[in-house]
Structure 1
Protein backbone atom coordinates (compact mmCIF):
# COMPACT_ATOMS: atom_id res chain seq x y z
CA UNK A 1 0.00 0.00 0.00
CA UNK A 2 1.17 3.52 -0.72
CA UNK A 3 0.85 6.19 1.99
CA UNK A 4 -2.59 7.37 0.86
CA UNK A 5 -3.88 3.81 0.84
CA UNK A 6 -2.48 3.33 4.36
CA UNK A 7 -4.34 6.41 5.57
CA UNK A 8 -7.53 5.07 4.01
CA UNK A 9 -7.02 1.67 5.63
CA UNK A 10 -6.57 3.22 9.09
CA UNK A 11 -9.69 5.35 8.63
CA UNK A 12 -11.69 2.35 7.44
CA UNK A 13 -10.76 0.42 10.57
CA UNK A 14 -11.72 3.37 12.77
CA UNK A 15 -15.20 3.48 11.28
CA UNK A 16 -15.79 0.03 12.81
CA UNK A 17 -15.80 1.71 16.24
CA UNK A 18 -18.64 4.07 15.30
CA UNK A 19 -22.03 2.98 16.66
CA UNK A 20 -25.56 4.34 16.09
CA UNK A 21 -26.41 7.23 18.37
CA UNK A 22 -22.81 8.22 18.97
CA UNK A 23 -21.60 11.78 19.41
CA UNK A 24 -18.38 12.03 17.38
CA UNK A 25 -15.47 14.43 17.25
CA UNK A 26 -14.20 14.76 13.69
CA UNK A 27 -10.50 15.45 13.34
CA UNK A 28 -8.59 17.58 10.86
CA UNK A 29 -5.94 16.64 8.31
CA UNK A 30 -5.36 14.31 5.39
CA UNK A 31 -6.00 11.06 7.30
CA UNK A 32 -9.00 12.39 9.23
CA UNK A 33 -10.42 13.56 5.91
CA UNK A 34 -10.72 9.91 4.86
CA UNK A 35 -12.58 9.12 8.09
CA UNK A 36 -15.03 11.99 7.56
CA UNK A 37 -15.77 10.77 4.04
CA UNK A 38 -16.33 7.19 5.23
CA UNK A 39 -18.62 8.32 8.06
CA UNK A 40 -20.56 10.34 5.51
CA UNK A 41 -21.10 7.20 3.45
CA UNK A 42 -22.52 5.40 6.48
CA UNK A 43 -24.74 8.36 7.36
CA UNK A 44 -26.22 8.32 3.87
CA UNK A 45 -26.83 4.60 4.37
CA UNK A 46 -28.84 5.31 7.51
CA UNK A 47 -26.32 5.66 10.39
CA UNK A 48 -27.70 7.98 13.09
CA UNK A 49 -24.87 10.01 14.64
CA UNK A 50 -24.06 13.63 15.37
CA UNK A 51 -20.62 15.21 15.16
CA UNK A 52 -18.46 18.15 16.19
CA UNK A 53 -15.80 19.23 13.66
CA UNK A 54 -12.37 20.39 14.85
CA UNK A 55 -11.83 22.96 12.10
CA UNK A 56 -13.67 24.99 9.50
CA UNK A 57 -12.16 22.76 6.80
CA UNK A 58 -13.56 19.65 8.47
CA UNK A 59 -16.90 21.39 8.95
CA UNK A 60 -17.08 22.04 5.22
CA UNK A 61 -16.22 18.42 4.42
CA UNK A 62 -18.78 17.08 6.91
CA UNK A 63 -21.51 19.31 5.52
CA UNK A 64 -20.68 18.22 1.99
CA UNK A 65 -20.96 14.56 3.03
CA UNK A 66 -24.26 15.14 4.83
CA UNK A 67 -23.06 14.49 8.39
CA UNK A 68 -25.32 16.10 11.04
CA UNK A 69 -23.30 18.60 13.06
CA UNK A 70 -23.53 20.11 16.51
CA UNK A 71 -21.29 22.20 18.76
CA UNK A 72 -19.69 21.64 22.14
CA UNK A 73 -22.06 24.28 23.52
CA UNK A 74 -25.02 22.14 22.50
CA UNK A 75 -23.30 18.78 23.08
CA UNK A 76 -20.51 19.25 25.65
CA UNK A 77 -19.76 15.54 26.07
CA UNK A 78 -18.74 13.35 23.14
CA UNK A 79 -18.35 9.58 22.95
CA UNK A 80 -15.27 9.40 20.77
CA UNK A 81 -13.01 11.62 18.67
CA UNK A 82 -11.14 10.21 15.70
CA UNK A 83 -8.22 12.31 14.51
CA UNK A 84 -4.85 12.03 12.84
CA UNK A 85 -1.40 12.88 14.19
CA UNK A 86 1.89 14.22 12.88
CA UNK A 87 3.82 11.89 15.19
CA UNK A 88 2.84 9.04 17.52
CA UNK A 89 5.39 8.29 20.23
CA UNK A 90 5.68 5.87 23.15
CA UNK A 91 2.64 5.73 25.42
CA UNK A 92 0.53 7.26 22.64
CA UNK A 93 2.05 10.68 23.18
CA UNK A 94 1.37 12.76 20.09
CA UNK A 95 2.48 15.78 18.14
CA UNK A 96 -0.47 17.39 16.38
CA UNK A 97 -1.12 20.72 14.72
CA UNK A 98 0.56 20.45 11.35
CA UNK A 99 -2.76 21.49 9.85
CA UNK A 100 -3.12 24.38 12.28
CA UNK A 101 -6.15 23.08 14.20
CA UNK A 102 -4.43 21.97 17.42
CA UNK A 103 -6.44 24.17 19.81
CA UNK A 104 -9.84 22.98 18.62
CA UNK A 105 -8.54 19.43 18.23
CA UNK A 106 -7.43 19.33 21.86
CA UNK A 107 -10.66 20.89 23.15
CA UNK A 108 -12.77 18.34 21.26
CA UNK A 109 -10.55 15.42 22.29
CA UNK A 110 -10.70 16.48 25.94
CA UNK A 111 -14.50 16.57 25.76
CA UNK A 112 -14.57 12.98 24.47
CA UNK A 113 -14.74 9.76 26.42
CA UNK A 114 -12.19 8.29 24.06
CA UNK A 115 -9.71 9.52 21.45
CA UNK A 116 -8.70 7.25 18.59
CA UNK A 117 -5.71 8.28 16.48
CA UNK A 118 -5.45 7.12 12.88
CA UNK A 119 -2.22 7.29 10.90
CA UNK A 120 0.04 5.72 8.34
CA UNK A 121 3.14 3.87 9.56
CA UNK A 122 5.48 6.82 8.93
CA UNK A 123 3.88 8.71 11.84
CA UNK A 124 4.96 6.13 14.44
CA UNK A 125 8.27 7.18 16.01
CA UNK A 126 10.48 6.05 18.90
CA UNK A 127 10.98 9.63 20.14
CA UNK A 128 8.82 12.67 19.42
CA UNK A 129 10.32 15.82 17.95
CA UNK A 130 11.50 15.25 14.43
CA UNK A 131 8.26 16.91 13.29
CA UNK A 132 8.35 20.58 14.40
CA UNK A 133 6.15 21.16 17.45
CA UNK A 134 3.32 23.61 16.73
CA UNK A 135 2.75 26.18 19.48
CA UNK A 136 -0.34 28.36 19.03
CA UNK A 137 0.11 31.89 20.35
CA UNK A 138 -1.79 35.16 20.61
CA UNK A 139 -0.54 37.69 18.04
CA UNK A 140 -0.36 40.35 20.76
CA UNK A 141 3.09 40.47 22.30
CA UNK A 142 4.59 37.99 19.84
CA UNK A 143 8.19 38.99 20.58
CA UNK A 144 7.79 38.62 24.35
CA UNK A 145 5.95 35.32 23.97
CA UNK A 146 8.59 33.91 21.62
CA UNK A 147 11.31 34.85 24.13
CA UNK A 148 9.38 33.22 26.98
CA UNK A 149 8.84 30.05 24.93
CA UNK A 150 12.59 29.91 24.23
CA UNK A 151 13.32 30.17 27.96
CA UNK A 152 10.73 27.54 28.87
CA UNK A 153 12.18 25.04 26.40
CA UNK A 154 15.77 25.91 27.35
CA UNK A 155 15.01 24.87 30.92
CA UNK A 156 14.53 21.30 29.66
CA UNK A 157 16.51 20.89 26.44
CA UNK A 158 18.03 22.70 23.47
CA UNK A 159 15.38 25.11 22.13
CA UNK A 160 16.36 25.03 18.46
CA UNK A 161 14.86 27.46 15.91
CA UNK A 162 11.40 28.88 16.69
CA UNK A 163 10.12 30.17 13.34
CA UNK A 164 6.69 31.71 12.94
CA UNK A 165 4.55 29.70 10.51
CA UNK A 166 3.84 31.66 7.36
CA UNK A 167 1.63 31.29 4.33
CA UNK A 168 3.00 30.95 0.80
CA UNK A 169 2.77 34.72 0.33
CA UNK A 170 4.86 35.37 3.44
CA UNK A 171 2.14 36.48 5.83
CA UNK A 172 1.70 34.95 9.28
CA UNK A 173 -0.48 31.84 9.17
CA UNK A 174 -3.71 32.52 11.06
CA UNK A 175 -5.64 29.72 12.78
CA UNK A 176 -9.42 29.38 12.87
CA UNK A 177 -9.24 31.04 16.29
CA UNK A 178 -7.32 34.05 14.97
CA UNK A 179 -3.97 33.03 16.47
CA UNK A 180 -0.45 32.49 15.11
CA UNK A 181 1.70 29.35 15.25
CA UNK A 182 5.36 28.92 16.12
CA UNK A 183 6.82 25.66 14.78
CA UNK A 184 9.54 24.67 17.26
CA UNK A 185 12.27 22.67 15.51
CA UNK A 186 13.40 20.62 18.50
CA UNK A 187 14.75 17.50 16.82
CA UNK A 188 13.76 15.30 19.76
CA UNK A 189 11.60 15.64 22.87
CA UNK A 190 12.83 13.42 25.67
CA UNK A 191 10.17 14.40 28.23
CA UNK A 192 6.91 15.35 26.46
CA UNK A 193 4.95 15.71 29.71
CA UNK A 194 7.46 18.15 31.23
CA UNK A 195 7.64 20.19 28.04
CA UNK A 196 3.84 20.27 27.81
CA UNK A 197 3.64 21.69 31.34
CA UNK A 198 6.36 24.25 30.68
CA UNK A 199 4.73 25.55 27.50
CA UNK A 200 1.25 25.68 29.05
CA UNK A 201 2.62 28.01 31.74
CA UNK A 202 3.81 30.65 29.25
CA UNK A 203 1.47 33.67 28.99
CA UNK A 204 0.47 34.16 25.37
CA UNK A 205 0.58 30.44 24.54
CA UNK A 206 -2.97 29.49 23.67
CA UNK A 207 -2.15 25.78 23.20
CA UNK A 208 0.64 23.47 22.07
CA UNK A 209 0.67 20.38 19.89
CA UNK A 210 1.78 17.90 22.55
CA UNK A 211 -1.08 15.53 23.34
CA UNK A 212 -0.04 13.65 26.48
CA UNK A 213 -2.38 11.17 28.18
CA UNK A 214 -5.24 12.03 25.82
CA UNK A 215 -5.31 9.29 23.17
CA UNK A 216 -6.42 5.81 24.23
CA UNK A 217 -5.91 4.00 20.92
CA UNK A 218 -3.93 4.36 17.71
CA UNK A 219 -4.81 2.61 14.48
CA UNK A 220 -1.66 2.50 12.38
CA UNK A 221 -1.64 1.21 8.82
CA UNK A 222 1.50 0.05 7.05
CA UNK A 223 2.47 -1.89 3.93
CA UNK A 224 1.73 -5.17 5.74
CA UNK A 225 -1.67 -4.19 7.13
CA UNK A 226 -3.28 -2.46 10.10
CA UNK A 227 -2.26 -2.70 13.75
CA UNK A 228 -3.90 -1.33 16.88
CA UNK A 229 -1.94 0.15 19.78
CA UNK A 230 -3.73 0.80 23.07
CA UNK A 231 -2.69 2.69 26.17
Structure 2
Protein backbone atom coordinates (compact mmCIF):
# COMPACT_ATOMS: atom_id res chain seq x y z
CA UNK A 1 0.00 0.00 0.00
CA UNK A 2 1.13 3.54 -0.75
CA UNK A 3 1.41 5.30 2.60
CA UNK A 4 2.24 8.87 1.56
CA UNK A 5 2.19 11.35 -1.32
CA UNK A 6 5.98 11.37 -1.14
CA UNK A 7 6.08 7.77 -2.36
CA UNK A 8 4.17 8.40 -5.56
CA UNK A 9 6.10 11.63 -6.10
CA UNK A 10 9.29 9.56 -6.03
CA UNK A 11 8.11 6.95 -8.55
CA UNK A 12 9.50 8.14 -11.87
CA UNK A 13 7.25 7.65 -14.91
CA UNK A 14 10.09 5.75 -16.60
CA UNK A 15 9.50 2.97 -14.05
CA UNK A 16 6.00 2.29 -15.35
CA UNK A 17 5.41 -0.72 -17.57
CA UNK A 18 5.50 0.22 -21.25
CA UNK A 19 7.16 3.61 -20.71
CA UNK A 20 10.47 3.73 -22.55
CA UNK A 21 12.87 6.67 -23.01
CA UNK A 22 10.86 8.20 -25.88
CA UNK A 23 7.52 8.22 -24.03
CA UNK A 24 9.22 9.31 -20.82
CA UNK A 25 10.83 12.26 -22.61
CA UNK A 26 7.47 13.29 -24.11
CA UNK A 27 5.80 13.10 -20.68
CA UNK A 28 8.58 15.24 -19.22
CA UNK A 29 7.79 17.94 -21.80
CA UNK A 30 4.30 18.03 -20.28
CA UNK A 31 5.89 18.52 -16.82
CA UNK A 32 4.97 14.93 -15.95
CA UNK A 33 7.89 13.35 -14.12
CA UNK A 34 6.33 11.11 -11.47
CA UNK A 35 3.38 8.83 -10.88
CA UNK A 36 1.86 11.70 -8.86
CA UNK A 37 2.09 14.07 -11.86
CA UNK A 38 0.56 11.44 -14.12
CA UNK A 39 -2.56 10.64 -12.11
CA UNK A 40 -3.27 14.35 -11.67
CA UNK A 41 -2.96 15.04 -15.41
CA UNK A 42 -6.73 15.25 -15.82
CA UNK A 43 -8.60 15.25 -19.15
CA UNK A 44 -9.98 18.53 -20.45
CA UNK A 45 -12.91 16.84 -22.22
CA UNK A 46 -14.40 13.44 -23.06
CA UNK A 47 -15.62 11.51 -26.07
CA UNK A 48 -18.80 9.47 -25.67
CA UNK A 49 -18.31 6.08 -27.30
CA UNK A 50 -20.73 4.35 -24.94
CA UNK A 51 -23.69 4.09 -27.32
CA UNK A 52 -24.38 3.77 -31.05
CA UNK A 53 -26.42 6.46 -32.78
CA UNK A 54 -28.76 5.89 -35.72
CA UNK A 55 -28.39 7.80 -38.98
CA UNK A 56 -32.06 8.85 -38.92
CA UNK A 57 -31.54 10.59 -35.56
CA UNK A 58 -28.62 12.74 -36.71
CA UNK A 59 -28.79 16.48 -37.18
CA UNK A 60 -26.08 18.96 -38.09
CA UNK A 61 -25.88 19.76 -34.36
CA UNK A 62 -25.27 16.15 -33.25
CA UNK A 63 -21.57 16.77 -32.53
CA UNK A 64 -19.40 13.65 -32.42
CA UNK A 65 -21.15 10.29 -32.67
CA UNK A 66 -20.48 6.55 -32.86
CA UNK A 67 -22.17 4.73 -35.74
CA UNK A 68 -22.31 1.11 -36.89
CA UNK A 69 -22.50 1.22 -40.68
CA UNK A 70 -22.13 -0.74 -43.91
CA UNK A 71 -20.26 0.51 -46.96
CA UNK A 72 -22.81 1.35 -49.64
CA UNK A 73 -20.59 2.91 -52.30
CA UNK A 74 -17.15 4.45 -52.78
CA UNK A 75 -17.80 7.71 -54.62
CA UNK A 76 -14.13 8.39 -55.24
CA UNK A 77 -11.84 11.38 -54.84
CA UNK A 78 -13.07 14.94 -55.24
CA UNK A 79 -11.57 18.42 -54.95
CA UNK A 80 -9.24 20.37 -57.16
CA UNK A 81 -6.37 18.05 -56.30
CA UNK A 82 -8.45 14.92 -55.71
CA UNK A 83 -7.45 14.63 -52.07
CA UNK A 84 -10.90 14.21 -50.48
CA UNK A 85 -12.32 10.69 -50.50
CA UNK A 86 -16.13 10.42 -50.41
CA UNK A 87 -17.84 7.22 -49.23
CA UNK A 88 -21.52 6.44 -48.74
CA UNK A 89 -22.45 4.42 -45.65
CA UNK A 90 -25.79 3.12 -44.45
CA UNK A 91 -27.45 1.57 -41.41
CA UNK A 92 -31.00 0.25 -41.15
CA UNK A 93 -32.39 3.78 -40.81
CA UNK A 94 -30.69 5.78 -43.53
CA UNK A 95 -27.66 6.79 -45.59
CA UNK A 96 -24.82 9.14 -44.68
CA UNK A 97 -21.81 10.41 -46.62
CA UNK A 98 -18.34 10.55 -45.11
CA UNK A 99 -15.35 12.62 -46.20
CA UNK A 100 -11.74 11.51 -45.64
CA UNK A 101 -8.71 13.72 -46.18
CA UNK A 102 -5.22 12.74 -47.38
CA UNK A 103 -5.93 9.01 -47.42
CA UNK A 104 -3.71 6.31 -48.88
CA UNK A 105 -4.43 3.47 -51.30
CA UNK A 106 -4.38 0.57 -48.84
CA UNK A 107 -6.92 2.42 -46.67
CA UNK A 108 -9.28 3.00 -49.61
CA UNK A 109 -9.13 -0.65 -50.69
CA UNK A 110 -10.62 -1.74 -47.36
CA UNK A 111 -13.97 -0.14 -48.21
CA UNK A 112 -15.56 -3.01 -50.09
CA UNK A 113 -19.32 -2.94 -50.68
CA UNK A 114 -21.29 -4.29 -47.72
CA UNK A 115 -18.36 -4.27 -45.29
CA UNK A 116 -19.32 -3.36 -41.73
CA UNK A 117 -17.48 -0.60 -39.91
CA UNK A 118 -17.63 1.24 -36.61
CA UNK A 119 -17.25 4.98 -37.30
CA UNK A 120 -16.63 7.72 -34.75
CA UNK A 121 -16.51 11.29 -35.92
CA UNK A 122 -17.98 14.77 -36.12
CA UNK A 123 -21.27 15.49 -37.83
CA UNK A 124 -21.19 18.58 -40.03
CA UNK A 125 -23.55 19.92 -42.73
CA UNK A 126 -22.54 18.87 -46.24
CA UNK A 127 -21.37 22.00 -48.08
CA UNK A 128 -23.59 21.20 -51.12
CA UNK A 129 -26.72 19.57 -49.67
CA UNK A 130 -26.69 20.84 -46.10
CA UNK A 131 -27.49 17.33 -44.86
CA UNK A 132 -25.60 15.79 -41.90
CA UNK A 133 -22.33 14.18 -42.99
CA UNK A 134 -19.34 12.57 -41.30
CA UNK A 135 -16.04 14.44 -41.41
CA UNK A 136 -12.91 12.26 -41.40
CA UNK A 137 -14.24 9.71 -38.88
CA UNK A 138 -12.11 7.13 -37.11
CA UNK A 139 -12.88 3.77 -38.72
CA UNK A 140 -12.74 0.31 -37.18
CA UNK A 141 -13.30 -2.44 -39.74
CA UNK A 142 -15.52 -5.25 -38.46
CA UNK A 143 -15.67 -8.92 -39.37
CA UNK A 144 -18.88 -10.22 -40.94
CA UNK A 145 -20.43 -11.63 -37.75
CA UNK A 146 -18.42 -9.64 -35.22
CA UNK A 147 -20.40 -8.49 -32.18
CA UNK A 148 -20.16 -4.74 -31.67
CA UNK A 149 -19.36 -3.63 -28.13
CA UNK A 150 -19.33 -0.08 -26.81
CA UNK A 151 -17.23 1.48 -24.05
CA UNK A 152 -18.50 1.44 -20.46
CA UNK A 153 -16.93 4.78 -19.56
CA UNK A 154 -16.37 8.06 -21.36
CA UNK A 155 -13.09 8.30 -23.28
CA UNK A 156 -10.72 10.96 -21.85
CA UNK A 157 -8.97 13.51 -24.05
CA UNK A 158 -5.77 14.97 -22.57
CA UNK A 159 -3.47 17.88 -23.26
CA UNK A 160 -0.57 16.28 -25.11
CA UNK A 161 2.59 17.05 -27.02
CA UNK A 162 4.29 16.09 -30.27
CA UNK A 163 5.03 12.38 -30.45
CA UNK A 164 2.59 11.46 -27.69
CA UNK A 165 -0.75 10.37 -29.12
CA UNK A 166 -3.94 10.05 -27.11
CA UNK A 167 -3.88 6.23 -27.23
CA UNK A 168 -0.40 6.05 -25.68
CA UNK A 169 -1.21 8.72 -23.11
CA UNK A 170 -4.44 6.95 -22.11
CA UNK A 171 -2.65 3.61 -21.81
CA UNK A 172 0.11 5.10 -19.64
CA UNK A 173 -2.33 6.89 -17.33
CA UNK A 174 -4.47 3.74 -17.11
CA UNK A 175 -1.39 1.82 -15.92
CA UNK A 176 -0.88 4.42 -13.17
CA UNK A 177 -4.57 4.30 -12.20
CA UNK A 178 -4.43 0.51 -11.92
CA UNK A 179 -1.51 0.86 -9.51
CA UNK A 180 -3.36 3.19 -7.15
CA UNK A 181 -6.42 0.94 -7.25
CA UNK A 182 -4.28 -2.00 -6.10
CA UNK A 183 -2.41 0.16 -3.58
CA UNK A 184 -4.80 3.02 -2.70
CA UNK A 185 -3.58 6.45 -1.72
CA UNK A 186 -3.72 7.26 2.02
CA UNK A 187 -6.94 8.89 3.21
CA UNK A 188 -6.29 12.20 4.95
CA UNK A 189 -9.95 13.06 5.50
CA UNK A 190 -11.70 11.32 8.42
CA UNK A 191 -14.89 9.62 7.27
CA UNK A 192 -17.09 12.10 9.14
CA UNK A 193 -15.41 15.01 7.29
CA UNK A 194 -15.80 13.45 3.84
CA UNK A 195 -19.27 14.46 2.59
CA UNK A 196 -18.68 12.78 -0.75
CA UNK A 197 -18.40 9.20 0.53
CA UNK A 198 -15.66 8.62 -2.02
CA UNK A 199 -12.01 7.73 -1.48
CA UNK A 200 -9.30 9.86 -3.07
CA UNK A 201 -8.17 7.01 -5.33
CA UNK A 202 -11.73 6.36 -6.55
CA UNK A 203 -12.28 10.08 -7.14
CA UNK A 204 -9.12 10.33 -9.27
CA UNK A 205 -10.15 7.30 -11.32
CA UNK A 206 -13.65 8.73 -11.85
CA UNK A 207 -12.32 12.04 -13.18
CA UNK A 208 -10.31 10.12 -15.78
CA UNK A 209 -13.08 7.62 -16.62
CA UNK A 210 -16.56 8.80 -15.61
CA UNK A 211 -19.82 7.09 -16.53
CA UNK A 212 -21.91 8.91 -19.14
CA UNK A 213 -25.00 10.91 -18.27
CA UNK A 214 -28.25 8.99 -18.67
CA UNK A 215 -29.22 11.29 -21.55
CA UNK A 216 -25.65 11.37 -22.91
CA UNK A 217 -25.32 15.13 -22.61
CA UNK A 218 -21.66 16.26 -22.54
CA UNK A 219 -19.81 16.25 -19.22
CA UNK A 220 -17.27 18.88 -18.17
CA UNK A 221 -14.54 17.35 -15.92
CA UNK A 222 -14.65 20.29 -13.48
CA UNK A 223 -18.38 19.68 -12.87
CA UNK A 224 -17.95 16.08 -11.71
CA UNK A 225 -18.64 15.24 -8.07
CA UNK A 226 -15.35 13.35 -8.03
CA UNK A 227 -13.49 16.49 -9.14
CA UNK A 228 -15.17 18.45 -6.32
CA UNK A 229 -14.09 15.71 -3.90
CA UNK A 230 -10.43 16.23 -4.90
CA UNK A 231 -10.71 20.04 -4.68
CA UNK A 232 -12.33 19.73 -1.25
CA UNK A 233 -9.32 17.85 0.09
CA UNK A 234 -6.90 20.32 -1.51
CA UNK A 235 -8.69 23.28 0.10
CA UNK A 236 -8.58 21.61 3.53
CA UNK A 237 -4.86 20.91 3.07
CA UNK A 238 -4.23 24.55 2.14
CA UNK A 239 -6.21 25.74 5.15
CA UNK A 240 -4.26 23.47 7.49
CA UNK A 241 -0.99 24.78 6.05
CA UNK A 242 -2.09 28.35 6.72
TM-score tier by shorter-chain length is under 0.3
Structure of larger gyration radius: 2
